[in-house]
Amino acid sequence: MPWSHHSHSGQFCGHATDTLEAVVQHAISKRMTTFCLTEHITRSDLDLYPEEISSGQNQASLARIYDDFYHEARRLQKLYADQIQLFVGFEGEWIREGSEATVKDLFQRYEVDLFVGSVHHVHGFPIDFDTATYHKAREVAGGSDERMFEDYFDAQLAMLKALRPPVVGHFDLIRLKSDDPDRSFKAWPKVWQKLVRNLEFVAEYGGVVELNSSSLRKGMKECYPQVEICKTFHAMGGRFTLSDDSHGIPQVGLNYGKVLQCVERAGITELWHLAPIGPTSSDKLPDPRFPNVRWIDVQVTKLKEHGFWTKPER
């Protein structure tokens, strides 16, 4: 029953490992029932990562990689349909002027089941790549983590308003390279105000916030978003799902037990997952951009009964 709505593979992502099919097979072996394939999309030549530059990639070649990914993902979706529900989409990028057009162009080219709306850049710098690059962005923001966080949540709001992503990716990613990644956001009232503003917008349009376990493998104490944020969104009637943000086999379903502890501390009683459209649904009408899928809810108490939790993580 456990799911992931955000994943990558080394076959189509330079900083991941393993083939896409091997990742899917591993998710099946862990008894996961829903797994979303959401590769990165193309970026401007201005925004390439070091491994992409060193391997001679560019905007056009990244677009071809996504095309290859899409067709392989659809092949696997059919091949393993009797073992796992696979959904195909992408993880969006919100970097600079033009990001909106890049994402919307994908909707014209591909029929996708979902996408993850993420912000990895502030002031044009990737804020989760390494500490030195984060510090460059922080200097532009005014020299403090507090100002950097404010600018991050402003960029996130612009992304949310422009794209209304069905899944909001690693909501508080900005804390990863900050001086104190486990700091309470409430320590900075202006930051907290912007954060709550964004949550209210997500709740208003019906977006689903992922509980992303990748923060835990990177040394943080809680998943993305922090428990205090989860409590606030839950009080708004906001919906949550599970994501491992895996970049290869070792990270599939990793640390979900710790995520479940965060869920319980936040008082969340139900989680949502993507499913094929059916004759009945407990959800609102489906998003017209994704006519073949719907969101359905599962009680956390029911989720905990699944055999996934009895298998040791590996």
pTM: 0.95
Return the DSSP state at 245.
-
| Nearest one of 287, 270, 131 to 206, comparing CA atoms | 287
Rounded CA separation 173/181 (Å): 9
Residue 164: the pLDDT is 97
Residue 199: the pLDDT is 98
Rounded CA separation 223/252 (Å): 15
Residue 311: the pLDDT is 64
User: 213 CB contacts (<8 Å, ≥6 apart)?
Assistant: 223, 242, 243, 244, 245, 254, 255, 256, 258, 259
Residue 118: the pLDDT is 96
Rounded CA separation 274/114 (Å): 9
Rounded CA separation 8/175 (Å): 22
Residue 309: the pLDDT is 78
Structural domain spans, the chain = 3-310
Tokens linked to 106 = 């994908």
Query: What is the chain's pLDDT, residue by residue, as a tens digit (314 residues)?
Result: 699 999 999 999 988 999 999 999 999 999 999 999 999 999 988 888 887 888 889 999 999 999 999 999 999 999 999 999 999 999 998 998 788 999 999 989 999 999 999 999 999 999 999 999 999 999 999 999 999 999 999 999 999 999 999 999 999 999 999 999 999 999 999 999 999 999 999 999 999 999 999 999 999 999 999 999 999 999 999 999 999 999 999 999 999 999 999 999 999 999 999 999 865 555 555 688 999 999 999 999 999 888 787 765 54
Rounded CA separation 150/194 (Å): 7
| Nearest one of 167, 233, 143 to 197, comparing CA atoms | 233
Residue 279: the pLDDT is 59
Angle at which helices 59-79 and 20-29 cross, to 10°: 40
What sections of the chain are H helices per DSSP? 20-29, 50-54, 59-79, 99-109, 131-141, 145-163, 189-205, 214-217, 227-235, 256-266, 300-303
Residue 1: the pLDDT is 67
Fold classified for 3-310: TIM Barrel (3.20.20)
Residue 112: the pLDDT is 97
